[in-house]
Amino acid sequence: MILFIFPVYKMKNKFLSVLVFLLYSGAVFGQEYSFPELEGFKKYTNYPVYTSENLWDFIDGAADTYLALGFVDLHVAEYKKGKESIKVEIYRHQTSSLSFGIYASERSPTFRFINLGSQGYIADGAINFFKGDYYVKIRTYSQKAKTLQAEESLATRIALMLRGNNDMPAELSLFPEAGRKQNAETYINESVLGHPFLNKAFKAEYESGSNLFSIFIIKCTSPTESFNTANTYLSKAGIDVDYSETGKFAFSDGYNGNIYLAWDEGYVVIISGLAKDQTDIADKYASEALK
């Protein structure tokens, strides 16, 4: 940040106010980084900065998914060497949970995962990863080994350049390990299970024997919020409860079948996909998540 302070002048027995102009770095007026150079390639950054107003111009129909997950802006660069080309897209979202959410929506458990940023993968010439508030997509259609090596080198440099830590969302550690499908977790920002009163949930898929089910974890800021979230769902199901900092209920949701709901002072856990007579399984998993 550069600070300019202009001198004070006296005029008509009054002092003019001190004029202070703050010229901020790109962290305010533009991007917080500069695309790195790549040896042997010429860098092109003559793309517009995409925001919520014009994201459709770049990714068309996919824009709605990005916007629903707190999209802020997108910076694009392209690296060219003769006919070889590597394209970089850096999406910034409002929080790291939201950047994880968009990243997770486009990954598959079958991809080859790599240690890049918080998590990344390589698939058919694409290197995608997320770190902090950023989701990065790098792509080349080249099959040349040197170009693919250059792409990986570029991905590493960009990951080091971006702000934020390399931690996965802390809520993922709450999910029980037994039967959990690896790298299949997602984040739902709005309308969990189709209900507008359920928001900001991490979701994991499970397979236990012949049982396939899902667990949702919603982090709350207080025991009151936790209870209110659970109570709203229970009220929709026709169940009345007195205020409590903890609770467990099994009921039927007309849209989603059997639901097992549990909560404590900080979290709400929802399990869907189990039969009515499998509350013991649901109780086991919910208890482990909440402990």
Are 282 and 270 in contact by the 8 Å Cβ rule? The answer is no
Under 8 Å between Cβ of 252 and 233: no
Model-level pTM?
0.86
Q: What is residue 31's predicted lDDT score, i.e. its pLDDT?
A: 60
> Which stretches of the chain drop beneath a pLDDT of 70?
1-32
pLDDT at 24: 32
**Fold type of domain 170-290:** Protein Transport Mog1p; Chain A (3.40.1000)
Domain range summary for the chain, segments of one domain joined by +: 31-161, 170-290
Residue 160 exposed, middle or buried by CB count within 10 Å (0-12, 13-18, 19+): exposed
d(CA 11, CA 102): 57
Query: 42-44 and 257-263 as β-strands: parallel, antiparallel, unpaired?
Result: unpaired
Q: What is the pLDDT of residue 208?
A: 87
Q: What is the pLDDT of residue 14?
A: 39
CA distance 287 to 277: 17
What are the pLDDT digits (tens) for 229-261? Answer: 999 999 999 999 989 889 999 999 988 999 999
Residue 25 pLDDT: 32
